[in-house]
Amino acid sequence: MPEISLTLPDGSQRTLEEGATTADLALDIGKRLAKDALIGVVDGVELDLDVALPDGATVEIVVPDSDRGLHTIRHSTAHVLAQAVLELWPGATFAIGPPIENGFYYDFELPDGATFSDEDLAQIDAKMREIIKARQPFVRSELPAGAALELMADHQYKRAIIEAVTTGGQDSELAGEADGDIISFYRNTDAFVDMCVGPHVPHTGHLGQFKLMRVAGAYWRGDEKNQMLQRIYGTAWADKKQLATHLHNLEEAAKRDHRKLANDMDLLSFPSTLGGGLAVWHPKGAAVRKLIEDYSRERHEQGGYEFVYTPNLANGKLFETSGHLDFYADGMYPPMEMDNGTYYPKPMNCPMHCLIFDRGQRSYRELPLRLFELGTVYRYERAGTLHGLMRIRGFTQDDSHIYCTEDQLADEVASLLDFVISVLKAFGFEEFVFNLSTRDPEKSVGTDDIWELATEALRSALDRHGLEYGVKEGDAAFYGPKIDVDVKDAIGRSWQLSTIQADFNLPDRFELEYVDDDGGRKRPIMLHRALLGSIERFFGVLLEHLAGNFPVWLAPTQVSVLPVAASHEAYAHEVADRLRAGSLRTEVVEANDPLGKRIRNTKMQKVPYILVVGDDDVANNTVGVNVRGADSPERDVAVELFMARVVRENEERLAEVGTELPA
């Protein structure tokens, strides 16, 4: 019997009989591996376990607890979902069902326009578990396009995919469905076959640690002009523990949802009578917001920005000049017809800043001119897109427009990057991701030269800082390239906050000019930039990042003083007055309820410091200190000592609470 020689990822060699498969290789290595093996990676290509191996191949055996393994499990689970749905809804058809982060989805069209509801999930889940219990094999077959079309005669979306790939249409979304002229299929039973590139787990018995999460609508091929399909999302994992961990993480994320915390901590609300996507800030939320804005102003003042104010309304002519009425009228609130013109709520501040630049003659000596405004704008976001503070219709940008010369552009962007990082770090963000978005030739204005110049300026600024960054080809705004800055939050989620955009469209439209050192008139380049982005959205991100545990300098109440009994109230107020004199936001919670209850309530409000004062403290001029997050209180702390520590934390805007323990 001829033999083949195989190389394992660790470099070791194995010799097997010709015709041996990855499954045979796994068995040759060990029983346990043979049981766990899902697919093989043969010379870099993922293949089913039962494919015969070529001589000399390098083979990696994929087990569940790996990226490739999870991917395969999720992909195979999606097939099981499709099988269940097609069985439960005769006449249903299916479209695309890929693995995604943490799970999978599958899109369906039900007969007679029927839709899924949440109640259907239990039934589908039960059917899927039957299929899994039956340990159905995934049997691969291949057909030429013509026969494939015939096999999928009843499934218009699958046929559309076959036609798309066989006519040479390159499409990453369809890459997992079919590829090239030979179409592959995976058959689980006589009744169920799905078109798929594969590979899949050997049989459905390898699956089962999944949960169907939700039903949703989704457009065919992601285009809102197309048919709306019914999508089911699920999560799937290698083992029970991973699944439980994932579900637990979702619960933890829900606990820090900014909408829940904003409600629980009485920070702000979205009264339905106010209208969708509009928030009112309650005293405690407003206190935090004001501190964020104060800090922003302070930093901009130090950074050489000049502060401006502009109105919330503008004559429509302004937005005709800027071009926004042509491009973005859909996103603007509708016009107000007045006897002297048509007015719109402003959707951005830039045109007004251009008016300020344009007032009077500008000299190159004034550049870079940095105009800054906490500018409130209104955008008519579509109803279905609103999401708490993250997507809102009225919001305030920490907006600046910088007018500079071509020569100044790169330096200006470079110093902006420092500024961005420094400001975001002050709020406790540690990890940043940078992206450079480049020109979309189809949707852009301006010459090649100036795009090149601007893109190079952004690129060189990133390089100069030694920052790693991704490039999003063609993702720029129509008027110029941009750098976006995402932050990673405490539980690893990514949020886009800052943006730095070069613009050579608006200076043109507004015919902005400065007088250069040679006496000639030149057009400035304009940079748009927002650091926090929208204050509202930033507040939401920060709230979730911190899970509501604002550092001392941002906490709406920094210290709560709790007298043990009514007899200690006078002393409690005395302590509170001293703290307030040190500019600490301090509350006294009087002894109307038992101490335990007041401690509980105050802790639930996430107050950084809770002081308990009783007989000993009155006698010795001390306090009992409960540091947020600490296990046990510190007793008999001298008031001056406590105060010095918290005043320092407050003034130095320290990110952590209780970093300095009393001596």
Partner RNA sequence: GCCCGAAUAGCUCAGUUGGCCAGAGCGCUGCUCUUGUAAAGCAGAUGUCGUGGGUUCGAAUCCCACUUCGGGCUCCA
Q: Which residues in 7-66 contact RNA (CB under 7 A)?
A: none
> Coil, strand, or helix at residue 267?
coil
How far is residue 525's CA from residue 411's CA, in Å, rounded to a whole number? 13
641 binds RNA (CB under 7 A): no
Shortest Cβ 312–RNA spacing (Å): 14
Q: Decide whether 224 or 442 has the Cβ nearer to RNA.
A: 224
How far is residue 307's CA from residue 109's CA, in Å, rounded to a whole number? 55
Bridge-based pairing of strands 559-563 and 586-588 is parallel
Single out the residue of 55, 171, 179, 616 in contact with RNA (rule: CB under 7 A).
Answer: 616
Q: Decide whether 77 or 501 has the Cβ nearer to RNA.
A: 501
How far is residue 62's CA from residue 38's CA, in Å, rounded to a whole number? 6
Binding-site residue total for RNA (CB under 7 A)?
A: 73
Q: If we measure between CA atoms, which residue out of 111, 64, 67 comes closest to residue 88?
A: 111
Shortest Cβ 626–RNA spacing (Å): 4
555 binds RNA (CB under 7 A): no
Shortest Cβ 442–RNA spacing (Å): 13
> How far apart, in Å, are the Cα atoms of 657 and each of 489, 630, 661?
18, 10, 10
How far is residue 413's CA from residue 483's CA, in Å, rounded to a whole number? 9
How far is residue 155's CA from residue 160's CA, in Å, rounded to a whole number? 9
Considering only residues 457-516, where is the footprint of RNA by CB under 7 A? Answer: 477, 501
Single out the residue of 37, 201, 288, 332 in contact with RNA (rule: CB under 7 A).
Answer: 332
Stretch that binds RNA, among 35-43, 360-368, 589-597, 655-663 (CB under 7 A): 589-597
CB–CB of 83/131 below 8 Å?
yes
How far is residue 542's CA from residue 389's CA, in Å, rounded to a whole number? 11
Q: Decide whether 48 or 373 has the Cβ nearer to RNA.
A: 373
Single out the residue of 139, 145, 471, 591 in contact with RNA (rule: CB under 7 A).
Answer: 591
Q: Decide whether 185 or 372 has the Cβ nearer to RNA.
A: 372
| β-bridge mates for residue 15, sequence order | 5
Show contacts of 107-114: CB within 8 Å, 24+ apart.
107/157, 107/218, 107/220, 107/229, 107/230, 107/231, 108/82, 108/229, 108/230, 108/231, 108/232, 109/157, 109/227, 109/229, 109/230, 110/230, 114/89
How far is residue 578's CA from residue 522's CA, in Å, rounded to a whole number? 59
Single out the residue of 231, 300, 353, 545 in contact with RNA (rule: CB under 7 A).
Answer: 231
Shortest Cβ 230–RNA spacing (Å): 6
Shortest Cβ 491–RNA spacing (Å): 15
Single out the residue of 82, 348, 500, 639 in contact with RNA (rule: CB under 7 A).
Answer: 348
Stretch that binds RNA, among 25-33, 395-403, 606-614, 641-649 (CB under 7 A): 606-614
Single out the residue of 205, 335, 582, 633 in contact with RNA (rule: CB under 7 A).
Answer: 633
97 binds RNA (CB under 7 A): no
What torsion, rounded to 10 degrees, do the Cα atoms 250, 256, 261, 267 define? Answer: -140
Q: Decide whether 166 or 235 has the Cβ nearer to RNA.
A: 235
What torsion, rounded to 10 degrees, do the Cα atoms 590, 591, 597, 603 define? Answer: 30
Shortest Cβ 228–RNA spacing (Å): 4
Shortest Cβ 620–RNA spacing (Å): 9
624 binds RNA (CB under 7 A): yes
Single out the residue of 567, 581, 583, 662 in contact with RNA (rule: CB under 7 A).
Answer: 567
Single out the residue of 176, 205, 331, 335 in contact with RNA (rule: CB under 7 A).
Answer: 331
User: Beta-carbon neighbour count of residue 460 at 10 Å?
Assistant: 15
Q: If we measure between CA atoms, which residue out of 425, 419, 424, 461 comes closest to residue 305?
A: 419
Which backbone phi and psi does 551 adopt, to 5 degrees? -65, 165
Bridge-based pairing of strands 559-563 and 139-144 is unpaired
Considering only residues 143-202, where is the footprint of RNA by CB under 7 A? Answer: none
Considering only residues 407-426, where is the footprint of RNA by CB under 7 A? Answer: none
Judge if the upstream peptide bond of residue 347 is cis by omega within 30 degrees of 0: no
Shortest Cβ 149–RNA spacing (Å): 26
Looking up tokens 């702390």 gives 637
Q: Decide whether 4 or 610 has the Cβ nearer to RNA.
A: 610
Considering only residues 238-267, where is the footprint of RNA by CB under 7 A? Answer: 259, 263
Element holding 14 (H helix, E strand): strand 13-17
Catalytic residues: 350, 379, 397, 399, 401, 482, 528
What type of residue is 218? A
Considering only residues 386-405, where is the footprint of RNA by CB under 7 A? Answer: 386-388, 391
Q: Decide whether 139 or 591 has the Cβ nearer to RNA.
A: 591
How far is residue 620's CA from residue 636's CA, in Å, rounded to a whole number? 8
> Coil, strand, or helix at residue 611?
strand
Q: Decide whether 386 or 467 has the Cβ nearer to RNA.
A: 386
Single out the residue of 169, 604, 621, 662 in contact with RNA (rule: CB under 7 A).
Answer: 604
Q: If we measure between CA atoms, which residue out of 421, 64, 29, 22 comes closest to residue 237?
A: 64
Shortest Cβ 560–RNA spacing (Å): 11
Single out the residue of 4, 215, 413, 572 in contact with RNA (rule: CB under 7 A).
Answer: 215
Encoded tokens for 473 = 């080809």
- Residues 370-389: x/- map of binding to RNA (CB under 7 A)? ---------xxxxxxxxxx-
Q: Decide whether 165 or 262 has the Cβ nearer to RNA.
A: 262
Q: Decide whether 209 or 230 has the Cβ nearer to RNA.
A: 230
Single out the residue of 138, 210, 237, 270 in contact with RNA (rule: CB under 7 A).
Answer: 270
Burial category of 180 from C-beta neighbours within 10 Å (exposed 0-12, middle 13-18, buried 19 and up): exposed
Distance of CA 269 to the CA centre of its chain: 22
Q: Decide whether 62 or 500 has the Cβ nearer to RNA.
A: 500
Single out the residue of 140, 155, 158, 324 in contact with RNA (rule: CB under 7 A).
Answer: 324
CB–CB of 512/383 below 8 Å?
no
Shortest Cβ 259–RNA spacing (Å): 5
Shortest Cβ 311–RNA spacing (Å): 17
Q: Decide whether 232 or 417 has the Cβ nearer to RNA.
A: 232
> Coil, strand, or helix at residue 441?
coil
DSSP 367: P
272 binds RNA (CB under 7 A): yes
Single out the residue of 2, 90, 168, 222 in contact with RNA (rule: CB under 7 A).
Answer: 222
User: Beta-carbon neighbour count of residue 328 at 10 Å?
Assistant: 15
Single out the residue of 192, 281, 295, 328 in contact with RNA (rule: CB under 7 A).
Answer: 328
Shortest Cβ 273–RNA spacing (Å): 7
